[in-house]
Amino acid sequence: MPVQHGDVTVHLGPQEHGAADDLLKPIVDFIGRAKRRQTLMIAVQEIDNPDIADAIIAARLRGVTIDLVIEQSYLLAASKPGTVADAHTPGGKYEINRELFNAILRSTTDVKVDFNPKIFHQKFMVLGNTVLTGSTNFTTTGVTKNLNHVVVVENASVATAYKREFREIREGRFGKFSVAHGDRPKEVAVSGMRVKPLFAPDHGPEMEIMKQILKARERIDFAAFTFAQSSGIDDALIAAHQNGIKVTGVLDRRQGNQRWAAKLPLEEAGIAVKVAGGRGSLGKVHHKLMVIDDQLTIFGSFNYTRPANKSNDENILIVGDLEDTDAAARAAQGTIARACREEIDRIISNFAD
């Protein structure tokens, strides 16, 4: 069952690999909530799951206005066709993406491919005053094989922040072109908990994550798909470890064993870092998840890399506060944080070397 407090719900999945929650259902259900004359904004890296595509098409056919932006790379052939006939020949790794894209277009959904020369890495939807975000790509692998999370927040202020970001995306303000817009990240209270959305590169999420790390008093737990030495987050974790904070993490096996990965310097500093995923039917450790002191949780699409902070389009969502809070707030944010930390523990226990 998803962990929920008031208007914040966290899904940790997939169930196919022993996690608590189905990841496909909250995505399809979110789209299914959209009613005639409402507007559903969708900003995602790719769509290759037929159930998600069908939900989008069904929403459009019942009169929902849908604005969709996706990464164009998954719609292109693997190589430039040599002839006109080649360009019309179906096939290849991403043919399902193209088939679903065409079906969505035929439903008269307003679809745009991104203009970002780097990676359009967002994974969020906005409907009215509700936001769905997290690490989960709208793909069959994303919802059934990779270890991921989905977060749903019902709050007008949070939704406004994501709507503003979506409008920038639709205007082509990606990467370095979106830095100077002047909006500052705003934190709000949602069901008594502090919630703060930030967008990269506009708000420099890396600095926010480092700031929260340096507030830790007891422990930091993380599960990350890509964690590069080009990020400053590894330095902040090492500093926390040297100050007596317990730091534990798990990385995706393939990414974590790359020469550029932060795994080696973290281990050399004495931090316990495991790798998991990529064996048997299990896909990637695709989370971008950090829990601090079992009180504050950082969700979202943001990988711990320089490109994520400087050029890709990303978001993070911070739930909780490490400053002094009342007992009710600590209990609420702690329920969410502990569930996420327990999922990190489960991944390490069940899948890590």
Contact partners, residue 79, CB within 8 Å, separation at least 6: none
Residues 29 and 296: their CA atoms lie apart, in Å, by 27
DSSP assignment string, 94-163: THHHHHHHHHHHHTT-EEEE---SS-B--EEEEETTEEEEES--BSHHHHHTSBEEEEEEE-HHHHHHHH
Assess if residue 220 is contained within a domain: yes
Assess if residue 285 is contained within a domain: yes
Assess if residue 17 is contained within a domain: yes
pTM exceeding the 0.75 threshold for the entire prediction: yes
**Mean pLDDT, to the nearest integer, of 188-194?**
96
Catalytic annotation present for 293: yes
69 - beta bridge partners? 43, 112
Domain count, the chain: 1
Q: Assess whether pLDDT exceeds 70 at residue 83.
A: no
Residues 183 and 112: their CA atoms lie apart, in Å, by 24
The CATH number of whichever domain residue 75 belongs to comes to 3.30.870.10
Q: What's 166's DSSP letter?
A: H
Tokens of 170: 């639709």
User: Tens of pLDDT along 211-249?
Assistant: 999 999 999 999 999 999 988 999 999 999 999 999 999
Q: Which domain holds residue 28?
A: 3-175+187-351
Q: Assess whether pLDDT exceeds 90 at residue 169.
A: no
Catalytic residue among 5, 203, 241, 288: 288
Assess if residue 180 is contained within a domain: no
| Per-residue pLDDT at 174 | 58
Q: What rounded mean pLDDT belongs to the chain?
A: 90
User: Tens of pLDDT along 240-249?
Assistant: 999 999 999 9
Catalytic residue among 21, 293, 294, 313: 293
320 Rama sector, left if φ>0, alpha if ψ -120 to 50, beta otherwise: left
Q: Assess whether pLDDT exceeds 60 at residue 82.
A: no
User: Tens of pLDDT along 7-51?
Assistant: 999 999 999 999 999 999 999 999 999 999 999 999 998 899 999
Assess if residue 181 is contained within a domain: no
Catalytic annotation present for 17: no
| Per-residue pLDDT at 65 | 97
Assess if residue 114 is contained within a domain: yes
Confidence of residue 313 (pLDDT cuts 50, 70, 90): confident
Confidence of residue 98 (pLDDT cuts 50, 70, 90): confident
CA-based torsion, 53, 56, 58, 61: positive or negative:
negative
Tokens of 316: 């993070």
- For tokens 């450790």, what's the residue? 285
Catalytic annotation present for 326: no
Measured in degrees and rounded to the nearest 5, phi and psi for residue 135 equal: -100, -5
Catalytic residue among 5, 241, 286, 287: 286
Q: Assess whether pLDDT exceeds 80 at residue 92.
A: no
